[in-house]
Amino acid sequence: MTDSQTLVLASGSPRRLALLEQIGIVPDHLAPADVDETQGDGEAPGALAQRLARMKAEEAYDRARTDKEVGPAYILAADTVVAVGRRVLPKAETLAEAESCLDTLSGRGHRVYTGIGLITPKGKLRLKTIETRVRFKRLSRQEIQAYLASGEWRGKAGGYAIQGIAATFVTKLVGSYSNVVGLPLHETSAMLSGEGYRVLDGWVAGSRTVEAPGEIAPEPETA
């Protein structure tokens, strides 16, 4: 165990930040990690999510160790993958990608995997992958075009955000809802608590002030 209660979130996702704040956890620093998210040959979607979470956690850990303002800290990272069978859908950045995702998901089931990586102040690494099964209704062309026009899909795994308009597409969900949003709260809280992070401290009214966490600068590139 350690006395350090500094928490670094290895993500720039406002959704993950909001989910943590929902359960009283306010990261002290943000360290968005830039890693290659390409699926390996034969790599299962759940394995991909866990590998990316590990890579993000390790990158943030290395940066935090060289930042004198951070000191010993818990490093929390996550990556969410949407898959149909073994096919991983992209984090849609273009209309064409988003439309392709919606066409694929329409009227069928898919799985959402979130890999969680936690590194303790003493350098211990813990990994976990959570799976949620989701089914969409059959989407009309009008619904798909209207959703594309909303822009809500941009940057989202699978081209949709369940916490928004796309909630109307879901006919069945088995597992963690927050996992589909981007961070399974039960499992994340349990991992942090199990490694000595005082999750319950944030539940006391007025115990923690919600302030914008500082961002840890990336390490300078060497020639």
d(CA 169, CA 162): 8
DSSP E strand stretches across the chain: 7-9, 29-30, 74-84, 87-88, 109-119, 125-136, 170-174, 214-215
Is 79 tagged catalytic?
yes
What does 163-209 look like in DSSP terms, one character per residue?
Answer: TTGGGGGEEEEES-HHHHHT--HHHHHHHHHHTT--GGGGGSTTSS-
Kindly name the residue from 41, 79, 103, 201 that is annotated as catalytic. Answer: 79
DSSP state of 54: H
d(CA 37, CA 79): 9
d(CA 135, CA 109): 4
d(CA 19, CA 149): 26
Q: How many residues does the chain have?
A: 223
Q: CB neighbours of 18 closer than 8 A, spacing ≥ 6?
A: none
Residues with catalytic roles:
79
